Chains A and B, each alone.
Chain A
Amino acid sequence: MAEPKEEHNRPTDLVGRILFRVSRLFAIFGGFVLCAMAVLTTLSVTGRAAFNAPITGDFELIAIGTGVAVFAFLPYCQLVRENVIVDIFMSKTPFKWRTFFDLIGNFLYVVIIILMLWRLPLGGIDLYENDQMTLILEVPQWWTFPLAILCLILLLAVNIYTVIRSYREIRLNRTL
């Protein structure tokens, strides 16, 4: 859980820069959603304490907000290489080998996200067809699916980019 190493993990090539900008925007959007959740709970708690009038069903919005924020955070985290790895056993192996396994890791992540991108919309369609809503506020549950899918598409693009980045790093034998 380190501080973001944004400065030295910032891509320098054109595609990387574009992906970085977009992912960063998504992450900031997620951050604002989180802030909105904080403000919402504060208002609800104050309302409950001062006027005995909490915001009903605020926890449903909080749950939805958490999901939206997390989906929006994922691409940025992958792009700046913040996902946690166990670095100890290979710290002495040559750069090329380490980067080769990074490539495999990034590739596996691509496959996983393709799988998710195939299944997630179907889950959303199920909820849409069943008209599933949250209990108190009756927010249609499928509403946030398009947003989640958009985030996953960006994540897929970032993942494919990181695979190519690892490949180029092996070819050039240095960190990009």
Chain B
Amino acid sequence: MSGLEIGGFGFIVLLVLLAVRIPIAVAMLTVGLVGYFVIAGPAALLSYLKGEMYWRFTTFDLSVVPLFVLMGQFAAKAGLSQALFKAANVCLGHYRGGIAMAAVGGCGGFGAISGSSLATAATMGQVALPELKRYNYAGSLATGALAAGGTLGILIPPSVVLIIYAIMVEANIVTLFQAAFIPGILAALGYMAAIAIVVRVNPRAGPAGPRASRTDRFKALLDIWPVLLIFVLVMGGIYLGFFTPTEGAGVGSVGTFLIALSRGGMKFKDFIDALMSTATTTALIFLILLGAAVFNAFLGFSQLPLATANFFKESGFPPMSVLLMMVVLFIMLGFVMDSLSMILLTVPIFWPIIAVLDFGLQPEDLKLWFGIITLIVVEVGLITPPVGLNVFVINSMAKDVPMIETFKGVVPFFISDGIRVAFIILFPAVTLFLPRLLAIE
């Protein structure tokens, strides 16, 4: 067999292993190790393994990941979702569908200091679901809005998935965070628009709540100062280049810890809880990273990524149709896989293809644009059946809403995602505006 055939065969074996419940990281490691052995020989493999695991884990580039995870865990303990939802609710609650919009707004605010979708959906769900029920919101709208709102945790930077993408394509994390900001805000606005349309069609799905008094409004808005402080300090500092993402995440961890402590959400048990959640999340991410590194080392040897890239370059397919094919494939994979594994599995093949096609963009801009598109479409997988994780998290909190209702409730948000992806594909400027603006400074 030629290297290419071995590479292709390895890929198929990997997919089979994944289908039969072998943990993603273990499957990648197994195929990667065997493939490496077959192509490069035992001596090369054994010498590669001496350092691979150690150096993969002991790198400064990746240190930002566990620190952002830790920061998100502390933020979840600080009761900030409560304050965010309340502040959004006093401004929007008296409109039709306003309380659901407030839930989305709260998710957006939380997403600006947290890098995880599930944590965002879960913490905001606890706060907003009881309110939505109290005002007789339809179960489908309430749970759908929160499941979709949760994806803002990843879409609005900081974002763990985006960091991984940046490392894979050797892009600058800071410019990627900048690039993701406007599309993230658009996502929140798009979800609110989806709610507005749903309640226009069916006014009973989201009745208006009471209007808050001016003092209440003022008080609630004042109460979100910790979120603003953390956001300005951490993300502001990163965007404007005062410190590196790792430093930002470190400062943010200390900051969110202190806020949680001052608000009484950081008893010793809470602290240990936060550490344990950080431990499992970090371990599973890094194990998949190691698996992907070994698997991609094997794929690199097999020359498969290079060959596919050349094939697409010479085939004369219009670049846009190739990109659309990838988007469709991402959405299909999203039905069965989590976002991180999807990115690690596909980007090593997809990025070289995108890089050789002519989209009329500079290489650095292309990285940003493709990264944001990828980020959005892989996150759609979190709300689509049958394994939309956000949907499961929210549905398990709303005991009286059947799963099918939640999936129905997600449809308008799915459409909103589709429109946004099309918009961002057609207008790269939406993504590139902020990085350019901040680069001039």
A34-69 contacts to B, CB under 8 A, are: 34-35, 37-42, 44-45, 49, 59-60, 62-67, 69
Q: How far is the CB of A24 from chain B (nearest CB, A)?
A: 7
Chain A, range 64-122, C-beta contacts under 8 Å to B:
64-67, 69-74, 76-78, 80, 82-90, 98, 101-102, 104-105, 108-109, 112, 115-116, 119-120, 122
What is the CA–CA distance of A71 and B58 in the complex, to the nearest angstrom? 10
CB neighbours (8 Å) of A84 from chain B are 23-25, 284, 288, 338, 340-341
B282 contacts chain A at the CB level, 8 A cutoff: yes
Given the contacts A4-B277, A119-B49, A73 and B282 also touching, CB distance less than 8 Å: yes
| 9 further A-B pairs in the complex, CB-CB below 8 A; given A41-B249, A83-B23 | A31-B70, A31-B272, A34-B66, A63-B60, A66-B63, A82-B284, A87-B21, A115-B33, A119-B50
Is B387 interfacial (CB-CB < 8 Å)? yes
Q: Is the CB of A77 within 8 A of B22?
A: no
- Do the beta carbons of A1 and B116 come within 8 Å of each other? yes
Instruction: Please report the C-alpha to C-alpha distance between residue A64 and residue B29 in the assembled complex, in whole angstroms.
Output: 23
Give a binary string over B236-261; 1 marks a CB under 8 Å from any A CB, 0 the rest. 00000011001101110110010000
Could you tell me if B49 and A109 are in contact, using CB atoms closer than 8 angstroms? no
Chain A residues whose CB sits within 8 angstroms of the CB of B118 once the complex forms: 1-3
Q: Is there an interface contact between A4 and B276, defined as CB atoms closer than 8 Å?
A: yes
Cβ-defined partner of B49 (8 Å) among A40, A82, A115: A115
Task: Enumerate chain B residues within 8 angstroms of A80, measured Cβ to Cβ.
Answer: 280
Q: Which B residues lie within 8 Å of A64 (CB)?
A: 58
Contact B51 A123 (CB under 8 A): yes
- Asked whether, in the complex, the Cβ of B247 is within 8 Å of the Cβ of A44, the reply is yes
Chain B residue at smallest Cβ distance from A44: B247
- Give B61's nearest chain A residue, CB to CB: A63
**B251–A45 touching, CB < 8 Å:** yes
In the complex formed, the residue of A with least CB distance to B385 is A88
Give min CB distance, A116 to chain B, whole Å. Answer: 5
25 residue pairs bridging A and B, Cβ less than 8 Å apart: A1-B118, A1-B284, A3-B277, A4-B277, A28-B275, A31-B275, A34-B253, A37-B67, A38-B250, A41-B67, A41-B251, A45-B247, A63-B63, A64-B58, A65-B63, A66-B60, A66-B66, A67-B58, A73-B279, A82-B283, A84-B284, A115-B33, A120-B50, A123-B50, A148-B53
Known: A35-B70, A65-B63, A86-B19. A122 touches B50 (CB 8 A): yes
Q: Are A83 and B25 neighbours in the complex by a CB distance under 8 Å? A: yes
Contact with B along A110-151 (1 / 0, CB 8 A): 001001100110111010000000000000000011001000
> Of A82, A105, A123, which one neighbours B54 at CB under 8 angstroms?
A123
How distant is the Cα of A30 from the Cα of B260 in the complex, in angstroms?
A: 21
Contact B254 A66 (CB under 8 A): no
CB distance from B33 to the nearest CB of A (A): 7
B20, CB-defined interface residue at 8 Å: yes
In the complex, which residues of chain A have a beta carbon less than 8 angstroms from the beta carbon of B338? 1, 84
State whether A38 and B70 are in contact (beta carbons under 8 Å apart), knowing that A62-B63, A66-B57, A74-B287 are contacts in the complex: yes
Taking a contact as CB atoms closer than 8 A, the residue among A41, A89, A123 that contacts B246 in the complex is A41
Q: How far is the CA of A24 from the CA of B276 in the complex (A)?
A: 8
User: In the complex, what residue of chain B is closest to A65 when comparing beta carbons?
Assistant: B63
Bound Cα distance from A92 to B124, whole angstroms: 32
Interface SS of chain B: helix, strand, loop or mixed? helix
Known: A41-B246, A62-B246, A66-B63. A144 touches B58 (CB 8 A): yes
Q: Bound complex: CA of A155 vs CA of B70, how far in Å? A: 23
Q: Given the known inter-chain contacts A34-B278, A37-B63, A62-B63, please indicate yes or no for A126 contacting B283, CB distance below 8 A.
A: no
When distances are taken between beta carbons in the complex, the residues of chain A under 8 Å from B2 are: none
Q: Are B60 and A85 in contact, with the CB atoms below 8 A?
A: no
Q: How far is the CB of B387 from chain A (nearest CB, A)?
A: 5
Q: Render A1-32 as a binary contact track against B, CB cut-off 8 A, 1 for contact.
A: 11110100000000000000000100110111
Residues of A within 8 A of B24 (CB): 83-86
Docked pose: A145 CA to B53 CA in angstroms: 11
- The CA of A69 and the CA of B30, in the complex, are separated in Å by 24
Quick check: A66 and B49 within 8 Å, CB to CB? no
B40 in contact (CB, < 8 A) = no
| Distance (whole angstroms) from the CB of A12 to the closest CB of chain B | 19
Chain A residue at minimal CB-CB distance from B285? A1
Which one of A63, A66, A109, A145 has the greatest number of beta carbons of chain B within 10 Å? A66
Rounded to whole angstroms, the CA-CA distance of A88 and B49 in the bound complex is: 32
Give the CA-CA distance A86 to B28 in the complex, in Å: 13
Residues of chain B with a CB closer than 8 A to A27's CB: 275-276, 279-280
Q: A1-B118, A6-B276, A37-B67 are in contact. Are A83 and B254 (CB under 8 A)?
A: no
**A53 shortest CB reach to chain B, Å:** 15
In the complex, which residues 271-304 of chain B have their Cβ closer than 8 Å to any Cβ of chain A? 272, 275-288
Interface: B361 (CB within 8 A): no
**A32 neighbours in B (Cβ, 8 Å):** 275
B247–A102 CB distance below 8 A: no
- A105 touching B23 in the complex, CB below 8 Å, given contacts A35-B70, A67-B58, A123-B50: yes
* Residue of A32, A62, A70, A82 ringed by the most chain B CB atoms within 10 A: A70
